[in-house]
Structure 1
Amino acid sequence: MDNNKSTRLANKLFPVKEEYEIDILDIPAEKRKLNTETYDFTVSTIVEYISDKHIEIPMFQRGYVWNRAQASRLIESLIIQCPIPVVYLSQNSDETLSVIDGNQRLTSISLYLNDGFPLTGLATYPELDSFKFSELDPRFQRHIRNRTIRCIVILKDTHPQIKFDVFERLNTGSVKLNPQELRHGIYNGPLIRAIEKLSNISSFKKATSTTKDKRMKGEEMILRYFALHNNWENYEKPMTTYLNSYAESNRFYNEQAIETLSETFKSNFNKCMELYGEYTFKTFDASKKRMKANTALFDAQMISMTIVNPTIEQLEGIDKNMVIDRLTTLLDKEDFYNSLTKGTTDKNVVQKRINDYTTFLRAIL
């Protein structure tokens, strides 16, 4: 009896959810404290800080989504001195500030003061409809510039995992941001920008089934490769925390380091494509049908390729039919298949599938 069929069906009907929980208790008790300072910045100061990049407004997958009526009502609230909700900022190691909560508000204010749109749909002062900022009476302009917005800054000495947890707690949008989308904002910098660029390679999108990737799945896969490729033997769960720590520690990698990482990724990706072709990162059955991209298999194939490090010439000379036949046999082994589908981020499981796949790769070379 093929027990794998039962397991595969169960995986489809009762999928194991990705481990997105942050294990705060892994952090020493004395480091779980949230360190903050409170500032009342004038609108003028906020717009200046955004302009000179002292305040960074991360662009998540949805970017700026407020319509003109929503933005106009915010400006009207400033005019009538209606309280504006608190904005949360994160202090970076270089003293700049990243927006944790308040993206839409700060973007709207910056846009309006730079004549980005005319006011529309005002309820209290409809007389100001159609006015851009530069067209307002100077007294209105001064009044808006002098309004203050309370900003709570999470200081840089706060543990990065605590920052991440706060970001999740403040993530109250209609569509919750997933961990990679959160990282895109919290750890924005050269590393994240390089990962974003790599994730847009068309052949990578096709191999990972991320052609219509609206939730940054491809970016997270590349981050996993970066984090694991030199340190997989020291991996510790949970995966979310492991990736957060890597993204935080290497956020401001220098240009040379970024280039080296990117070239290493592209080289090993191209080798996988040469060896496995359309089956790259895909699970499938003996009929070679129902191919599905699998993140755990992506880890195994990419990291084993890094470890073994064959030349592209070696791979070109290998019988590809033999490779796929042997891969089919490997995927049919219950213990290996389970390492791709059950508890995939457990430390022992991560190490097992990389070791098993490395043995498999060496055997076919």
Structure 2
Amino acid sequence: MNNKSTLLANRIFPDNNEFEVEVLNIPAEKRKLITETYDFTVSTINDYINNEHIVIPNFQRGYVWNRTQASRLIESLIIQCPIPVIYLSQNGDETLSVIDGNQRLTSISLFLNNGFPLTGLSTYPELDGLTFSELDPRFQRHIINRTIRCIAILKETHPQIKFDVFERLNTGSVRLNPQELRHGIYNGTLMTKIEELAKSSIFKKLTSTGNDNRMKGDELILRYFTLVERYAEYVKPMSVFLNKYAEDNRFMPENQVKDLANNFTSNLNKCHLLYGDFAFKTFDENRKRLKANTALYEAQMLSMNTVNPTLQQIKAINKTEVINKLELLLQNVDFYNTITKATTDKNVITKRITDYTEFLQTIF
């Protein structure tokens, strides 16, 4: 018998509550999906969507099925063709968010609410052109009484395991990136505010996210929020760290998220005032090739939050001298390595932010 296998099994299926040290940042006994299976009728699913017990997140790609695809799904219900399993995520308030099945559920909800007439049917072309209310009542009852298998990942499941499952189920023609996944899974007051902040023209200019359609800017803001509040607690990997913060603060109280947004906006404006177009940028010896750098963005924003100079102090500073000093700092190999190599290692993050804070303190 393999000893490693036995040790792992002891942790996943323990005889008592004594657990060993964490492995891969998540205890082995917590690396399990906790699920419940439901066979919901189509009528129940529609009711749940209408009263928001089942929530279809506003994903970046949204609803993309055409009417023929949606109609063929309805036809599959009529001919009793099996429908693929729907995967749901149970939220803290007991609602269920769709993590796989967005197109199917949206199509069903639209049709039952007379959102479109059937088209392109192959088995029952006689029904083409009819909306749900125009179908014979027997067809209506047949459709709404069909059941669809739904598997809900319960809220007791570790949030990172939920995220991992979502990534595995993310098989669309354009795969969602981690921030797009977070936007769907953790959609709430926090993500709504982040999405709003990411539209700032100053932010887009300084971070080179002017043509951002994949939520890169949103992730930068989430990184700032997470580090400014949990910097001392940071543990790799960064993605898991961000996921945990987003999960914990999904429904952050409005006053709290407003304060956090004001803090972000204040420090963003201070960085812009102090560094101008050089904010968050590395540059060549001619200061021509400016390139936004995520690690430098974190260092400048977090150090600004710590040092907290007033607008009057910043206005009084000679900006040319600031950029000269910044150029010397970027030429320092030790510091430059912290923004270009292993940038999410805890020791590297600590050194980068500490060094930059000391640099900013020499200015003020």
Q: TM-score, normalised by structure 1?
A: 0.92
Q: Distance in 1 between matches of 2:90 and 2:62?
A: 21
Q: Deviations over 1:292-334 (max 9, x none)?
A: 1111111011100111111111111111111111111111111
Q: Distance in 2 between matches of 1:309 and 1:135?
A: 65
Which residue number corresponds to residue 321 of structure 1? 320
Which residue number corresponds to residue 141 of structure 1? 140
Which residue number corresponds to residue 240 of structure 1? 239
**1:24/1:37 CA distance change after superposition, 3 Å:** farther
Whether the aligned pair in 2 keeps the contact of 1:272 and 1:302 (CA below 8 Å) is: yes
Whether the aligned pair in 2 keeps the contact of 1:205 and 1:211 (CA below 8 Å) is: yes
Q: Deviations over 1:196-235 (max 9, x none)?
A: 1111112111111111111110010000000001321331
Q: Distance in 1 between matches of 2:38 and 2:180?
A: 27
Are residues 1:167 and 2:166 paired?
A: yes
Q: Deviations over 1:130-170 (max 9, x none)?
A: 11112212211111111111000011111111111111111
Q: Distance in 2 between matches of 1:55 and 1:284?
A: 49
Aligned to 1:25, what secondary structure does the other structure show? coil
Amino acid of the residue matched to residue 121 of structure 2? L
Whether the aligned pair in 2 keeps the contact of 1:87 and 1:151 (CA below 8 Å) is: yes
Amino acid of the residue matched to residue 58 of structure 1? P
Whether the aligned pair in 2 keeps the contact of 1:285 and 1:332 (CA below 8 Å) is: no
Match runs of 1:79-94 below 5 Å: 79-94=78-93
Aligned to 1:204, what secondary structure does the other structure show? helix
Aligned to 2:97, what secondary structure does the other structure show? strand
Which residue number corresponds to residue 188 of structure 2? 189
Whether the aligned pair in 2 keeps the contact of 1:24 and 1:162 (CA below 8 Å) is: no
Which residue number corresponds to residue 77 of structure 1? 76
Amino acid of the residue matched to residue 83 of structure 1? P
**1:275/1:347 CA distance change after superposition, 3 Å:** same
Question: How far did residue 289 of structure 1 move?
Answer: 1.3
Are residues 1:296 and 2:295 paired?
A: yes
Q: Distance in 1 between matches of 2:246 and 2:149?
A: 29
CA RMSD in angstroms, aligned pairs only: 1.2
Amino acid of the residue matched to residue 207 of structure 1? L
Aligned to 1:153, what secondary structure does the other structure show? strand
Question: How far did residue 24 of structure 1 move?
Answer: 7.3
Aligned to 2:334, what secondary structure does the other structure show? helix
Quick one: percent identity of the two aligned structures? 70
**1:230/1:241 CA distance change after superposition, 3 Å:** same
Which residue number corresponds to residue 58 of structure 1? 57
Are residues 1:220 and 2:235 paired?
A: no
Q: TM-score, normalised by structure 2?
A: 0.92
Whether the aligned pair in 2 keeps the contact of 1:304 and 1:361 (CA below 8 Å) is: yes
Are residues 1:273 and 2:272 paired?
A: yes
Aligned to 1:151, what secondary structure does the other structure show? strand
Amino acid of the residue matched to residue 47 of structure 1? N
Q: Distance in 2 between matches of 1:198 and 1:132?
A: 41
Q: Distance in 1 between matches of 2:113 and 2:49?
A: 11
Q: Distance in 2 between matches of 1:211 and 1:163?
A: 31
Gaps of 5+ in 2: 1-21
Amino acid of the residue matched to residue 356 of structure 1? D
Q: Deviations over 1:41-99 (max 9, x none)?
A: 11111111111111111122111111111111111111111100000000001100001
Q: Distance in 1 between matches of 2:201 and 2:139?
A: 50
Amino acid of the residue matched to residue 190 of structure 1? T
Asked which structure has the greater RCO (Cα within 8 Å, sep 6+), the reply is 1
Which residue number corresponds to residue 132 of structure 1? 131
Match runs of 1:30-41 below 5 Å: 30-41=29-40
Whether the aligned pair in 2 keeps the contact of 1:160 and 1:248 (CA below 8 Å) is: yes
Structure 1 residue runs of 4+, over 6 Å off?
none
Q: Distance in 2 between matches of 1:356 and 1:76?
A: 64
Q: Distance in 2 between matches of 1:233 and 1:355?
A: 12
Which residue number corresponds to residue 3 of structure 1? none
**1:102/1:362 CA distance change after superposition, 3 Å:** same
Amino acid of the residue matched to residue 198 of structure 2? S
Amino acid of the residue matched to residue 247 of structure 1? A
Which residue number corresponds to residue 14 of structure 1? none
Match runs of 1:15-26 below 5 Å: 25-26=24-25
Whether the aligned pair in 2 keeps the contact of 1:187 and 1:248 (CA below 8 Å) is: yes
**1:314/1:243 CA distance change after superposition, 3 Å:** same
Q: Deviations over 1:99-140 (max 9, x none)?
A: 111011111111111111111111111111111112212211
Q: Distance in 1 between matches of 2:35 and 2:149?
A: 13
Which residue number corresponds to residue 17 of structure 1? none
Aligned to 1:175, what secondary structure does the other structure show? coil
Q: Distance in 1 between matches of 2:347 and 2:160?
A: 23
Amino acid of the residue matched to residue 205 of structure 1? K
Aligned to 2:36, what secondary structure does the other structure show? strand
